Homo-oligomer: A and B are copies of this chain.
Amino acid sequence: MSKSPNTLAMKEIESETTAVWVALNLAYRSVHREMEKALKEAGLPSLRWYDVLWELERSRDGMRPFELENGLLFEQSNLSRMLRRIVDEGLIEAFAYEGDGRGKVLRITAKGRRLRKRMWQIYGPQIESHFGKIVDANKAGKLVSILKPLIF
């Protein structure tokens, strides 16, 4: 009998440790998919674009690509092209960074703010509908405190 568990959809959990990973995996995929679907059905961009827009909206002075990369856990090359697309849509703008000729600063535009707001009208309720129960059951703090150490 093999001791190896699968990642997903496992019926017989082979170890508690693996059970956590399987559950995390399925939960993330499941929720993520539904959120992307909801946004797409509303004719809006993906969650990744939202993350970038919101990150820039919160930072009054703008941010540099490598900061987004670190904060949002994007691949550098992926982010690079993604930013170009977002810039092409006029949602953010890139300016030269004074002090380091290699860098640039990204700032959200008025159009970008408007779009982010529209996205939030879909996205916010999605978060509520998926995680509302957990919060009601007062489990949120616990779950967050368990998940946090996994990051990085």
For residue A23, CB closer than 8 A to chain B, the reply is yes
Closest B residue to A71 by CB, please name it: B9
Q: Is the CB of A27 within 8 A of B130?
A: no
- Using an 8 Å CB-CB cutoff, how does the interface string of A76-119 with B read, 1 for contact, 0 for none? 00000000000000000000000000000000000000001100
For residue A42, CB closer than 8 A to chain B, the reply is no
Closest B residue to A138 by CB, please name it: B16
CA distance A67 to B139 in the complex (A): 33
Q: Is the CB of B73 within 8 A of A7?
A: no
Q: Give how many copies assemble into the complex.
A: 2
Chain A contacts with B in 1-43, Cβ cutoff 8 A: 2, 4-9, 15-21, 23-33
Task: Give the interface size bracket for A toward B.
Answer: 35 or more
Q: Is the CB of A7 within 8 A of B146?
A: no
Q: Which residues of chain B come closer than 8 Å to A71, judged between CB atoms?
A: 8-9
* Of B120, B123, B144, B152, the contact of A20 (CB 8 Å cutoff): B144
Q: Which residues of chain B come closer than 8 Å to A51, judged between CB atoms?
A: 6-9
- Using an 8 Å CB-CB cutoff, how does the interface string of A127-144 with B read, 1 for contact, 0 for none? 110111111000111111
* Of B9, B58, B134, the contact of A6 (CB 8 Å cutoff): B58
Query: Given A4-B54, A4-B124, are A24 and B19 also a contact pair (CB < 8 Å)?
Result: no
Q: Is the CB of A148 within 8 A of B27?
A: yes
Q: How far is the CB of A92 from chain B (nearest CB, A)?
A: 14
